[in-house]
Amino acid sequence: MVNLKIDNIAVEVEDGASILDAARVANINIPTLCKHPDVDPSAGCGICIVKVGGRIMRSCCTPAAEGMEVITNDAELKEIRKTVLELILSNHPNSCLTCGRNGECELQDMAAQMGVRSEEIRKILSAEPIDDSSKAIVLEPAKCIVCGRCVDICQNTQNVWALSYLHRGMATKITGANDTKLGDSPCIKCGQCAAHCPTGAITDYDTTAQVWDMLKNQDNVTVVQIAPAVRVALGEEFGFDFGSNLTGKIYAALRKLGFAKVFDTNFGADLTIIEEATEFVRRFKEKDNLPMFTSCCPAWVDYLEKYYPEMLPHLSSCKSPHEMVGAIIKTYYAQKLGVEAAKIKVVSVMPCTAKKWEIARDETMSSSGYQDVDAVVTTRELAKMIKQQGIDFASLKDEEADNPLGEYSGAATIFGVSGGVMTAALRTAFFYITGQELGNLCFGPIVGLDAVKVAEVDIMGTKVRIAVVNGVGNAEAVLQEIKKAQENGEEIPYHFVEVMACPGGCIAGGGQPRVMGARFAKPWGINDEIRALRSQGLNCEDEQAKNRLSHHNASIKKLYDEFLGAAGGEKSHHLLHTKYQKRPLYK
C-alpha cells in the first residue's frame, strides 16, 4: 500500500494506483477528458494535471508514491487547464445545439464547469466527412478530440481493430485502415466506441425520426418491444438509481408515445430458449458441431462471420429474441389481430447499436414476408423520445405489457446480463433431457464480470462443460482453445459457449445511457460497479419471478400449440432461425 496526501487529505491506495485514482478515493474529482474507468491512461488530453513538489504532471499516468504531497487545484493549474481546454475547443465546432450529445457531453460539461465564455484561439476544424455507412453508429470526425478512448476500446478491449489512429499531429484522425468507411471495415457495430466517446464524435445512427413517422401514420399499427437490459438502465436518464428496474413505467411511457401495443423482448427470450435448448439437446446427443455458440448477440455473430468464418457451424441457428418477436408479430399476431402484416410496424428498443444493423442483415430477417423488425432505437434514443413527448417519466404509474407477447419468465430477463442466456438455456435443456426441473437454478461460476467463466453442469451423470465469454475481446482465447483441441483430435473443452460482445453483457451495451458525471456528482463513464448494479437489477427480477423457467411460459406454450407446432420444427425453422455467411474484414 502507498500513503500520500492529496490536497492535504491523507489517502491510502494500492501499489500501482495513479494519482487520479488516489484522488477519487479522497472524493476529489480531477477533471479529465481521455481517462475512462475502462481504458488505460494515455496522457492524451492534458486536463488532469496536478502539482507534485511544484512540478506539474498528468495525474492519470503518474503512479501515487509514498509520502507524495499532491495539489490538484490552484490558480495556476486552473489557468493551464482552461487554456488546454480552449485549445481543444479551438478544433471543435460550436454546433452543440444540434448535436446528438447535446446536454450529455463531457466536453460541453467541462467547458461549462471551467467557465469558458469566449473563444480567443483561432478555430481550425476538420473537414473530414461524416461516416454513417455502418447504419449503426455515426462517426463525425470534426467533433473528435482525439482522446483515443474509442481506439483503445475497439482494439484492446474488443479486439476488433475497426478504428485506428491515422496520420499524426494536427492531421491525426480516427478512422478505419486506409480511410476505410466503418461499414466496409471489420466493425461489428457493438457501439462500445460510442458508449465511451466523450463528445458527439461517435453517436447512434439516429432512427427516432423514422419511428415518429411510423407513429404518425394512422394506417399503421405500430407496436414496440423492449429488450431485457433496457428496463434496468433507462431510469438513469430520469434520475433513478443505477439498476432500478422500471419495466412498468417503461410500458406506460411507450403507450403515451402512441404505440398501439407494447410487447416485451423477454417473451422472445423465452421463445429463443425453447428453440435454442431444443437445438442444443439435439446437437449434444448427436455430437453435431460442438461446442454450440449462442447467437443472440449480433455483434458477436458479425465478429465470427468476419474473424472466424470456419467456426460458423458452431453458432446456434436461432435468431436473436427481438427478431423472433418481430417474425411472430407479423405472422401469428397479425392473424390474431386480423391486420395485414404490411400495416404492422415493429419497433425494438434495444441497449444495442448492432441491432440497428441486424434488422437488415440478410433475407432471413424478413421471414414474415416483410422486414420482421422495422426500426431499432437504443435505450438512449428512447429516453430522448420520452423527453420530446413531454412525459413526466418518474410519476408514471406501472402498467402491464400487452399479451400474448408480453408474458415472460425470470429466465428471459437475465438475457441482458453476461451468463444469463447460458443459465436460461441450461434450465430448460436440463428439463428436456431429464424431464425434471433443476434444483439450483443458478450456476454460480458463470455469474459476474470475469472475462471467461467456466463451469461443469451435471445432467443425470452427463457432464456438460460450459463457458461464458464476457466481452468479445475475450472470445479469441476460447476460440483458439477449441480450435487447438479440434486440430489435435482431443476432447473439446466445452459443449456450450455463450458470448456477449459488450463487457458485462447487454446491460452495458453500446446503446445504453451514458453515465453522466455531472448528474451523479461522480466521474463520467460506466464502470464495473455500475455494471454490477444493472446486472443485479435483472438478477433480482429473476429471483423474485413466479416463473423462472422459459418452458413454463404459458403464452409460449400456446404459441406452439396454436401456430408453430413443434420446437425446432419446419415453421420454427422458417420464422425463428437464421443462417450465417463468411464476410470479408474489408469490403
Partner 1 sequence: MADASNASQVAAKWRKKRGSLIMALHEIQDVKGYVDWSDAVELAQGMGVSLARIYEVLTFYNFFKLKAPGKAVISVCTGTACYLKGNDKVLEKFKSELGIGEGESTADGMFHLQCVRCVGCCGLAPVCVVNGKTYGRMTPDNVPAILDEWRETFKEN
Residues with a catalytic annotation lie at: 276, 279, 296, 316, 355, 358, 363, 506
- Options 22, 26, 111, 163; binder of partner 1; rule CB under 8 A: 163
What is the number of residues in the chain?
Answer: 587
> Helices (DSSP H) in 517-565: which residue ranges?
517-520, 528-544, 554-559
What angle, rounded to 10 degrees, do the helices at 475-487 and 298-307 form? 50
In the complex, least distance from residue 119 CB atom to partner 1, rounded to whole angstroms: 29
In the complex, least distance from residue 164 CB atom to partner 1, rounded to whole angstroms: 4
- Options 27, 95, 165, 543; binder of partner 1; rule CB under 8 A: 165
The reply on whether position 382 binds partner 1 by CB under 8 A is no
Instruction: Please name every residue paired with 455 in a beta bridge, in sequence order, or none if there are none.
Output: 466
Q: Shortest CA distance to 269 belongs to which of 311, 319, 310?
A: 319
Q: Shortest CA distance to 372 belongs to which of 352, 354, 355?
A: 355
DSSP single-letter state for residue 241: P
In the complex, least distance from residue 306 CB atom to partner 1, rounded to whole angstroms: 12
In the complex, least distance from residue 180 CB atom to partner 1, rounded to whole angstroms: 8
- The letter for the amino acid at 496 is F
Instruction: In whole angstroms, give the CA distance from residue 548 to residue 560.
Output: 19
- The letter for the amino acid at 529 is E
Question: Which CB, 167 or 287, lies closer to partner 1?
Answer: 167
Query: Strand 137-139 vs strand 49-52: parallel, antiparallel, or unpaired?
Result: unpaired
Question: Which CB, 113 or 480, lies closer to partner 1?
Answer: 480
- Cα 29 off chain centre by: 27
| Residues from 103 through 162 that contact partner 1 (CB under 8 A) | 155, 161-162
- The letter for the amino acid at 553 is N
Contact track, partner 1, 241-280, x by CB under 8 A: ----------------------------------------
In the complex, least distance from residue 444 CB atom to partner 1, rounded to whole angstroms: 36
Query: 423: helix, coil or strand?
Result: helix
Instruction: In whole angstroms, give the CA distance from residue 91 to residue 88.
Output: 6
Which residues, in sequence order, are CB contacts of 301 under 8 Å at separation 6+?
Answer: 295, 315, 358, 580
In the complex, least distance from residue 332 CB atom to partner 1, rounded to whole angstroms: 45
Q: Dihedral (C-alpha) 93, 99, 105, 110: value to the nearest 10 degrees?
A: 30
Question: Which helix or strand (DSSP H or E) is residue 228 part of?
Answer: none
- Options 3, 29, 83, 164; binder of partner 1; rule CB under 8 A: 164
In the complex, least distance from residue 189 CB atom to partner 1, rounded to whole angstroms: 16
Which of 98-106, 163-171, 222-230, 360-368 is the region at the interface with partner 1 (rule: CB under 8 A)?
163-171
Instruction: In whole angstroms, give the CA distance from residue 511 to residue 532.
Output: 17
- Cβ pair 384, 101 in contact under 8 A: no
Show the beta-strand stretches assigned E in 284-381.
292-293, 344-350, 375-378
Instruction: In whole angstroms, give the CA distance from residue 528 to residue 199.
Output: 22
Q: Shortest CA distance to 531 belongs to which of 504, 506, 512?
A: 504
Question: Which CB, 67 or 169, lies closer to partner 1?
Answer: 169
Instruction: In whole angstroms, give the CA distance from residue 388 to residue 385.
Output: 5
How many helices (DSSP H) and strands (DSSP E) are in the chain? 20, 17
Question: Which CB, 173 or 574, lies closer to partner 1?
Answer: 173
Question: Which helix or strand (DSSP H or E) is residue 587 part of?
Answer: none
Q: Shortest CA distance to 78 belongs to which of 109, 113, 54, 33?
A: 113
The reply on whether position 586 binds partner 1 by CB under 8 A is yes
Question: Which CB, 308 or 415, lies closer to partner 1?
Answer: 308
- Options 84, 441, 442, 585; binder of partner 1; rule CB under 8 A: 585
Cis amide leading into 198 (omega within 30) = no
The reply on whether position 529 binds partner 1 by CB under 8 A is no
Contact track, partner 1, 27-46, x by CB under 8 A: --------------------
| Residues from 453 through 482 that contact partner 1 (CB under 8 A) | none
Question: Which CB, 186 or 321, lies closer to partner 1?
Answer: 186
Question: Which CB, 104 or 152, lies closer to partner 1?
Answer: 152
In the complex, least distance from residue 179 CB atom to partner 1, rounded to whole angstroms: 8
Question: Which CB, 177 or 312, lies closer to partner 1?
Answer: 177
In the complex, least distance from residue 168 CB atom to partner 1, rounded to whole angstroms: 5
| Residues from 166 through 185 that contact partner 1 (CB under 8 A) | 166-168, 176-178
Question: Which CB, 182 or 467, lies closer to partner 1?
Answer: 182
- Please report, as ranges, the residues that interact with partner 1 according to CB under 8 A: 155, 161-168, 176-178, 186, 585-586
